[in-house]
Structure 1
Amino acid sequence: MAPAPSQRQLAAISVTERVCSAVSLIGTSIIIASFIGSRSFRKPINRLVFYASWGNMMANIGTLISQSGIHAGSGSSLCQVQAFLIQWFMPADALWAFAMACNVYLTFFHKYNSEQLRQIEWKYVVCCYGLPFIPSFVYFFIQTQARGRVYGSAILWCWVALPWDYLRIAVFYGPVWFVISLTFAIYLRAGSVIYQKHRELRNLSGIESFVSDNQPDAPLITPAGIQVTSEIACFAPVHQSLSASDAPTRSFTASSFSPYSVRIEGGPINPFSMLQNLEESSAPIQGPSHPRSDPSPFCTELSLKSAQHECGDSYAQRRKAIEASSAAWVYTKYAMLFFIALLVTWVPSTVNRVYALARPDNFSFGLNYASGFVLPLQGFWNSLIYVSISWPAFKTLWRNLRSRSMGSRQT
C-alpha cells in the first residue's frame, strides 16, 4: 500500500492548480473583452470560443479554490459550490469542441453558410451547458448512510467523493470520451473532403500563377473568363481606314476585305490554350449576291458582350464557391486545434482516474500532479488558439490604440 500524499506534495499540487487557473482566467478575460469590445473579432469560430469561455471561467473559479474547499470540510458551502462548478463546467469544454466539429460537418456535407450556423448556436449553448447541469444539480440531493454526500474530497479539490468514485467514470469521464470519439469520427469522415478541397485550392492557385506569369499579348483573356483568340472582323464603309488601335492600318473597299477569324470560348480558362497563335483566315468572307452601295458598320461586339456576361456569372459563382471552401478549410484547421487541445487536457486526467479506480488504495503523485496541471489550462489553450485566429485583428487594435495615445500626447 502506497503512503498517503505528504503535505509538501499537496502544497505543490495546490500551487500548480492556482497558477494554471490564474493564467487561464487571464486568457478567457482577453477573449471576452476583445469579443465584446470590437466587431472585428466576431468570426464564426470565435463566437463558439466566446461561448465556451464562460464555462472555462466558471470552471477556473472552482479550480482556483483548489484544496481550500477540502480544508473547509466536505459539508461546507465552499466545498459544495466548488464541486458543483467543476462537475458542471469542466466537461462543457468537450461539448464545445464537438459543436465546432458539427459546424465542420454541416459546412462540408450540408453546405451551411455563416448565417445558418449562427441560427443554430443557441442550440449549442443549451446542449453544452444544459446537459452537464442536470447531474451537477442532482448530486446536491443524493446522500446515503454508507457513502455520505456525493460531493466531497477528491484529493485535488472538492468534487465527486471517493466513495462515489464510479460516478466519475459513468457521468463525467465516460460521456466526455464518448463526445471526443464522436468529434474524432466527424473529423475522420470530413478528412478526405477537406484534403480534396485543399488540393483544389492549391491547384487553382497554381493555375492563376501560371496565367499571370506566362500570359502572352494574344490571345486576350477577359476578367470574365472569355478567351478571344483573334481580332473581331469589322466591316467599314468605302475607303474608311481603321485606326491603329482598332486593327492593322489598311484601306477597305466595298468588295475587298481582309477578315480575321473569330473564336470566343467561355468557361474555365485552360492555361495551355493561351499558347495558341493568332490565326489569319485564308478564305475571304463571301458577301451577298447583290452589291451594297453603302454598307453600315457591323461588328460582333454585341455577341461578345452577351457571352462575356454569361461567362462572367459562371466565373463569379465559381470564385464564390472557391472562397467559401477556403473559409471552410480555415475554420476546420482551427477547430482541429481545439480538438488537439482537448486531448492534451483529458488524456492525463483520464489515465489518473482509471488508475485511481483500479488501485483505490494507491496514490500516484505524478498522475495527480499532471491532472492538476492540465485540467485548469482549458481556458489558456482556448485563448491561445483564439489569439492566433484573431492575430490580424489584435494588430489592428494595437495600432489604433497607439495612434490614439500619440494623438492625445500631441494635444
Structure 2
Amino acid sequence: MLHIRGEAALDEGQLQTLTIVTRVASTLSALGVLTIIGTYCLSKHFRNPMHRLIVINAFYNALDVTCTMISTSGPKAGNASALCQFQGFLNQMFPIADVLWTLAMAVNVHLIVHRSYDVESLRRLEWKYMLGITTATFIPALVLLFIHTEENGPMYGSVALWCAIAPKWVLFRIILYYVPIWSSILITIALYLFVGIEIAKRRRILRSISSHVNFSTLDETIPPAAAIAHDSCGNSTTPEYDNPHSGTDDPQSPSGAAKYYPPSTTRTLIIPSNPSSLSFRQYILMPLFFFLALLLVWVAPSTNRVASFIDPSFSSYPLMLVVGVTGSLRGFWNGIVFVVVGMRSWKRRRESDEMALRPVTRG
C-alpha cells in the first residue's frame, strides 16, 4: 500500500525506515544537546563567551530535536492536525535559528580579529543575539500558522519526512526557509574569509618580528607574541610585567613592556599579550568547525528542494533518507564539535602556558 506524503509516494516499509532513522538520529542529537549543557555546567574550562553562545543554541537545538523526533507522525496525523501544525512551526523556526547562531559565532570571530573585542565586550552582545534571533525566527513561524486557503490548504503540511511549509506553497518555502539559511551561510563564509586573510597577515608580521628578537642582553623588552595566559574559565589574562606605557589603546601593541630578571644564565621567559587577546582554538577554530558541520547538514535538503522545484515530479527515496538523517543530527554534530575541539583547545592551551613558563637556558 502506498502512502502519499507531500511529493513522495512511500510504501509501508519505506515509511517505517524513515521513521526509524530520523528518530535514532534525533536521539543522538538529544544526547549531543545534553552533552553540551552538562559539559558547560560541570567543567570550568568550557565557559568563555563563545561556549555560552553554543550552550544557548543547544536549547534551540533541543526544540529542533522535538520536531525531528515527531518524525512521520506529524504527516500521518494529517495536515490540519494540531501535531502537524506544531511540527511545522518547530521546523520553520529552529533550523533557521541554528544557522543564525552559527552566523553569530562568525560575527564574534570577526569582532575578535578585526575589532579586538575582549571577553566583556562579547558577553554584552549575547542578549542582543538572543533577542534578534528569536524575533527573526519566531514571528514568521507563528504567522505561517494562521495562513490557510481553500485552494492550497494550510501553509504547514506534509513533506514526506515531517510537516513543514507544504509542497503547494513551495515558493514560500524557498523564500522563507532556504533563502534565509543560505544567505546566512554565504555571509558566514565571507566573514571567515576576511578573518583568514587577516590572520595570514598577522602571522607574516609575527614571523618578521620574531626573526629580529635580540637576546644579547639580560634585561630586554619582548615584542608582542602569541603566548597567552588563561584563567580557570578559559579567558585570557596577562602575566605581571612593568607597564611604562599604561593607557595605550593600540590593539596591536602590548599595554606594557615585559621585563624579566634572571638570577644567572637560566631565565624564565614570559611573553605578554594584549589583555584582549583570545585563544585562537577556542574563539576561532571551534566556531569554524561548527560552520563546517552546518554545511554538511544543509547540502542534502537543499539539493532535494532545488531538484523538486525544478522538476515537481522529482522523487528520490535514498536522498530522502539522507535528508532525514542529516536534518536530525544537528544537535549531535554540535555536541561532538563542542567536546572534541574544546578538549583539544584546553589541552593545547595548558601546554602553551607550561611552555611560556619553562626556563630558558642561555649559554
* Same fold flag (TM > 0.5): yes
Give the distance between the partners of 1:309 and 1:45, measured in 2 at CA.
30
SS at match of 1:320: coil
1:362 corresponds to: 314
1:370-409 counterparts in 2 under 5 A?
A: 370-391=322-343
Q: CA deviation at 1:148?
A: 0.8
Give the distance between the partners of 1:391 and 1:3, measured in 2 at CA.
43
Matched, 1:313 2:313: no
SS at match of 1:360: coil
Give the distance between the partners of 1:191 and 1:182, measured in 2 at CA.
14
- Would you say the 8 A contact 1:17–1:372 is kept in 2? yes
SS at match of 1:4: strand
Q: CA RMSD for the aligned pairs? A: 2.8
Q: CA deviation at 1:142?
A: 0.6
Give the distance between the partners of 2:208 and 2:11, measured in 1 at CA.
61
Q: Which has the higher helix share?
A: 1
Give the distance between the partners of 1:78 and 1:100, measured in 2 at CA.
33
- Would you say the 8 A contact 1:89–1:129 is kept in 2? no
- What do residues 17-37 of structure 1 show as CA deviations (whole Å, max 9, x unaligned)? 111100010110111122234
1:114 corresponds to: 119
Matched, 1:42 2:47: yes
- Would you say the 8 A contact 1:89–1:132 is kept in 2? yes
Letter in 1 for 2:103: F
Q: CA deviation at 1:47?
A: 0.6
Matched, 1:125 2:130: yes
Letter in 2 for 1:319: P
Tell me how many residue pairs correspond in the alignment.
305
1:239 corresponds to: none
Give the distance between the partners of 1:391 and 1:112, measured in 2 at CA.
24
Scaled by the length of structure 2, what TM-score is found?
A: 0.76
Give the distance between the partners of 2:104 and 2:333, measured in 1 at CA.
17
Give the distance between the partners of 1:61 and 1:87, measured in 2 at CA.
13
Counterparts in 2 of 1:201 and 1:29: CA distance versus 1, 3 Å: farther
Give the distance between the partners of 2:85 and 2:99, measured in 1 at CA.
23
- Would you say the 8 A contact 1:198–1:326 is kept in 2? no
Matched, 1:348 2:291: no
Letter in 1 for 2:132: C
Give the distance between the partners of 2:211 and 2:338, measured in 1 at CA.
30
Give the greater-gyration-radius structure (CA): 1
Give the distance between the partners of 2:332 and 2:205, measured in 1 at CA.
35
Match of 1:334 among 260, 263, 286: 286
- Would you say the 8 A contact 1:201–1:326 is kept in 2? no
Q: CA deviation at 1:43?
A: 1.7
1:409 corresponds to: none
Matched, 1:221 2:218: yes
Counterparts in 2 of 1:181 and 1:76: CA distance versus 1, 3 Å: same
- Would you say the 8 A contact 2:8–2:160 is kept in 1? no
Q: CA deviation at 1:199?
A: 4.8
Letter in 2 for 1:174: V
1:166 corresponds to: 171
Give the distance between the partners of 2:346 and 2:197, measured in 1 at CA.
33
Q: CA deviation at 1:91?
A: 1.0
Scaled by the length of structure 1, what TM-score is found?
A: 0.68
Match of 1:187 among 183, 187, 192: 192
2:104 corresponds to: 99
Matched, 1:177 2:182: yes
1:147 corresponds to: 152
